[in-house]
Amino acid sequence: MNIKKVGLTALAASLVATSAYAGELSFSGGAKLSYTTKGGNMATTDVSSGFAMDQEITATGSAELDNGFTVSIAHGLATGGSSSDSSTLTLNMGDLGTLTYDDTDGHAGLAGLEDKMPLAYEQANDGLGTSAVPAVMAKMPSGQGFGYSNTVAGATVSLGWSDGLGAATNRSDGGQDTTVASTNSSSSIAVSYDLADIGLSVFGGVGTEGQADGKELDHTTMGAVYAFGPVKIGYQVNDEDDTDSTSTTTDLETEIYSIAFMVNDNLSISYGEHNSDEAGSTVDQEIESIQASYSMGGMTLNIKDSEVTGLSNVANQNHDTTEILLTFAF
C-alpha cells in the first residue's frame, strides 16, 4: 500500500468536505482625505484646522446553517489596520427575524433612528469637533449589546439592549474587565413604516437608560421623511427626560429639520437644522448645515459648512466648521 498516496487522498477529501460547509469571506476597504477649518470662541482643541486621512478595511463572511438560517459577521479594522473599529455578528432567521450582537456601536432600537434625516453628506450635528454638541439621541448609549428586528404588519420593529459596560471597548472571550466603569444598562424599541405609494416614511421609538442612583433617563423620538420627485424633506423631534438627581438637566428637547435635492444622479445638495432646548436655560443651541455631495464612481466629494450658536445652551458660545472630504471605496 502506498501510505503517502492514501494520506494525500485523505487530506484532499477533508479539504473538499471542509470547503463545502465553509462560508464566503470577502474584503472591502475605503479611505478618506479631508481638509477642515474650525473657528469660533471655543477651546483651542475645537478650532484647529488642517488635513487628515483615515482608512478602514472590512472583512465580511457568511454561512448557511443546516436549518436554513444564515449567520454572518462584519469586522472592521481602523486606521492602519492595527486595531478593531467595529464587529457585528448577525443571525438571519428568515420569517423569525434577525438577531445581532454588536461589540462597539450598536444600531438596534433607538440607535437606528439617529441618521434618518435626508442630507447630502451627514447629519447636521456630526463632525463639529466638539463633544459638547449633543447627538440626535443625546446620552443614549450605543455600546456593545444585542439587537432584534422583524417585520410586523408591514412595519419594521427593532429592539435594542446593552448592559452598559465598556461602551467604547471591544471585548474578547472572558467578558468585560470589572475595572471598566459601567455606563448603565439600556433598552429601547423603534418602529418604522414606509408608505411607498405616497413617498412617506414615519418612525418613532422609546428607550430607557439606568442611572447611578437607580433612577432612569427616558428617551422618546418620532419623525417623518417625505419624498416627492428629486426632493426629500424630513422632520424629527427627540425628548430626553433626565430624572437623575445628580444632574442639573431635567429635560432636553431637540428638533431637526432638513431638505435635500437630487440635482442629478451624481450631485445632491441639502440644508439642515438641529436645535436643542434645555430645561432651565434661556439659550437654545442652534446648528445650521449646508452640504453638497458629488459622486464620481469610486470617489465622492463632500462639502459641508456648519455653524453652531449657543453651544451647550450657553450664550455667546459659537462654533463653525467647514469640511472638504474625498472618500474612496475599494
The answer to whether residues 188 and 171 touch, using CB atoms and an 8 Å cutoff, is no
d(CA 115, CA 313): 23
Q: Model-level pTM greater than 0.85?
A: no
User: What b-and-e string marks burial along 42-63, b requiring 16 or more CB atoms within 10 Å of the CB?
Assistant: beeebbeeeeeeebbbeebeee
**Three-state DSSP class for residue 25:** strand
Per-residue confidence (pLDDT) for residue 11, from 0 to 100 = 39
In angstroms and rounded to an integer, the radius of gyration of the C-alpha atoms of the chain is: 23
Q: Which amino acid is at 149?
A: S
- Supply the pLDDT for residue 295: 96
Domain boundaries, the chain: 26-329
Note down pLDDT in tens along the chain; length 330 residues: 443 444 444 434 444 444 445 567 898 888 999 998 887 775 544 556 789 888 888 899 999 999 999 999 998 887 654 556 678 899 999 999 999 998 766 678 888 888 789 999 988 877 665 545 555 454 444 556 889 999 998 999 999 888 766 544 555 554 554 444 555 678 889 999 999 899 999 999 998 887 666 677 888 999 999 999 999 999 999 988 876 555 555 688 889 999 999 999 999 999 999 888 887 777 888 899 999 999 998 999 999 999 888 777 777 778 888 999 999 988
Q: Which of 14, 29, 13, 3 is nearest to 298 (CA)?
A: 29
SS3 content of the chain, % helix, strand, coil (to 5): 10, 55, 35
Give whole-number Cα distances, 243 to 148, 215, 247, in Å. Answer: 28, 6, 8
CA gap 221, 206 in Å, rounded: 7
Q: Decide: helix, strand or coil at residue 107.
A: coil
Rounded to whole angstroms, how far apart are CA atoms 70 and 171? 24
The fold of 26-329 is: Porin (2.40.160)
